[in-house]
A and B are shown apart, each in its own frame.
Chain A
Amino acid sequence: MESSPQKKTLTIILTEGPYRSQYADMAYEIAKSALNNEYNVNIFLYMDATHIPRKGQNPHSFPNVLEKIKKMVNRGADIRACVRCATARGYACDEKFPYIKGITITSVYDIPDWIKESDKVLSLG
Chain B
Amino acid sequence: MNSVLVIIDKAPYGWEDAFSGFFVEIACLNRQMDADILLIEDGVYAAVDGQDSDNIKFPGVGELTYLIFPEGNLYVYEDSIKKRGINKEDLMETIEIVNSKELYEITRAKEAVIKI
Chain A residues close to B by CB (< 8 Å)? 13, 15, 46-47, 84-85, 107-109, 111-113, 115-116, 118-119, 121, 123, 125
Contacts and interface: CB of A to CB of B under 8 A. Distances in A.
18 contacts: A13-B114, A15-B20, A15-B116, A47-B16, A47-B20, A84-B23, A111-B24, A111-B28, A112-B31, A113-B31, A115-B28, A116-B31, A116-B33, A118-B1, A121-B1, A121-B112, A121-B113, A125-B115
B27 interface: yes
Contacts of B116: 13, 15, 46-47, 123, 125
Contact of A116 (B2, B16, B20, B113): B2
Interface in B23-38: 23-24, 27-28, 30-31, 33, 35
Contact of B27 (A15, A111, A121): A111
B76 interface: no
The main secondary structure of chain A at its interface with chain B is mixed
A18 B115 CA distance: 18
Interface residues of B, number: 19
Contacts of A119: 1
B33 A115 contact: yes
Contact of A112 (B20, B27, B113, B115): B27
B4 interface: yes
A121 B23 CA distance: 18
Contacts of A125: 115-116
B17 interface: yes
B73 to A, nearest CB: 17
A46 B20 contact: yes
A108 B24 CA distance: 7
